[in-house]
Amino acid sequence: MSQTDALFEKYGPAYRAYATATVMIATISVVLSTTIVNVAIPDVMGAFGISAVQAQWLSTGFLAAMTATMLLGDWADRAFGLRLSLNVALTVFIVGSVLGGIAPNEGVLTLARVVQGAAAGVVQPLSMILLFRVFPPEKRGAAMGIFGIGVVLAPALGPWIGGLLIDAFDWRWVFYLGLPPGIMAMALANLFVPRRDNTGPRPGFDWTGLGLLAVFLASLLNALTNAQRLGWGSDPILIQFAIATAAATGFVMWELHTSKPMLDLRLFRNVPFAAASVVSFIMGAGLFGSTYLVPLFVQTIQGFTPTQAGLLLMPSGFVLVLVFPLAGRLSDKVPAALLIGAGMAIFAWSSWLSSVVEINTSFWTLAWWTILSRIGLGFVFPAISAGPLKTLPRDLIGQGSGAINFVRQLGGAFGVNLLAVLMERRTMLHADALAATQTSDNLATMTFLREVSGILRGAGLPDTQIFATAAQFLGQTVVIQANTLAFRDGFIVVTLIFLIALIPTAILHYATVRLTEAADAGASPAAREARHPVQ
């Protein structure tokens, strides 16, 4: 009897609910840290006297480490079992959280974020492996729907909770927030997560592949972070891009030839899985990118506090609690590609609506647009998590689980960094274009200066200072308008990307249909009935 069967015998059918709750709490504890630190960055910069570029590594380092270790789940399960692997990962995460809370300088704080990210990357694929082990194929979509609440709800609520803690206490408290759910998840894991079944030798690990992947991610993300400041053609940036390219090429070549690959590239010979991976990459970019754009806009343009910016994402988080279980159940009955296509279209619509955002856009309008985007993602996540894995051979499901999480997280890392670059470049472009029109021949400009001068004169400002102050105010207005136009461009780009994602979604649909028809053609009537149960 396997360890999983023993737990079913001990707890009965309710064991599935216990296992789902365990991995969802574990996932919430680690995913919460993905975005919660973002609202603390200004306070960290002030506490340690560091620049924005140095502070950005608090996010970039976490995402890079988390992405690199996403592929460790399958090996950890085979080598040590789910229970020990999950406990070790959560212990490392807790150590990183405490280290971040007591960090005496920015170096230790960055190290703490890398440790947190490395542990967080292992927890998510382990969670999916357990869910696929305890749920039959026809119920995995519903399981993914419930599990997905934690994956997407935590990043949505993270900025608001972080803002509350910073406003009420101190920025260090955001590192301690993941400790209670992490400790609770460890306690539950010792009750409801199975141990290792195999008693034979432990499989070796692909340390070379992990090293090449880590070099690729660190070099590329660091280059994207600093390219605008140092120049895209500068020697340091070109060297980092060259290192990233060499590491990526080396990683692919190594994984193709090693006997113990960390990422089995046979996965991508499966056309539905390959297409789903492209969609998952775009979904990650959209999820983390929109979580980056919306709070940044309301804080820099509309003057929201960190708490208010986080509060904006709360309604969408609560909507997800309703959408995810529904979408999960639908994914067991409706072809995955149809749900993915509908979700992507809804998210694209939301981003298109957001492309007209301005300084006077109301709180609830922004909240409604965000709710729409989360409804779209709510339909995509269960289908993209469960659907493509159903087409894989049983021995590749563990690898596939890690790979689909890896690709989504990689999309998130790229989405945030590339959107930040886009915003900076478009702000400069719009500022230059607007500044060139602010001349004495521009009737609107001169009317603006006269009105501002009248207000300043009425406030009692001396005549010698009125024009200079009015001109300064005009300059600030131009910068705000340029920044607003850059945000609009960002939302338009997100819209186009999600519309482009409909192409691999269509490929996923037709490839899945062909595989199913081929499997049915060679299967017995009993096997066909098992694969297509009557609802």
Domains of the chain from N-terminus onward: 1-196 (1.20.1250.20), 263-535 (1.20.1250.20)
CA–chain centroid gap for 471, Å, is: 42
Task: Give this prediction's pTM.
Answer: 0.75
On average, the pLDDT of the chain sits at 80
72: exposed, middle or buried (C-beta count within 10 Å: 0-12, 13-18, 19+)?
A: buried
Question: Could you tell me which residues come within 8 angstroms of residue 293 by beta carbon, excluding any fewer than 6 positions away?
Answer: 419, 423, 487, 490, 491, 494
Q: How far is CA 405 from the centre of its chain?
A: 10
Opening angle at CA 410, ends 257 and 43, nearest 5: 140
Regions in the chain scoring below 70 on pLDDT: 1, 35, 38, 51-54, 56, 150-153, 155-156, 159, 198-200, 228, 306, 386-387, 398, 516, 518-535
Using an 8 Å Cβ cutoff, are 376 and 347 in contact? yes
Contacts of the segment 449-453: beta carbons below 8 A, 24+ positions apart:
449/474
End-to-end distance of the chain based on CA atoms, in angstroms? 31
Residue 527 has a pLDDT of 45
- What integer pLDDT is reported at residue 306 of this predicted model? 67
Q: Which residue has the tokens 């890392």?
A: 413
- Contact by Cβ (8 Å): 171, 47: yes
Report residue 521 as tokens: 């053609």
Place of tokens 């500022």: 431
Residues 368, 461: Cα–Cα separation, whole Å: 42
**C-alpha of 291 from chain center:** 8
Q: Which of 179, 185, 162 is nearest to 20 (CA)?
A: 185
- Enumerate the H helices of 356-462 as residue ranges: 363-386, 397-436, 443-458
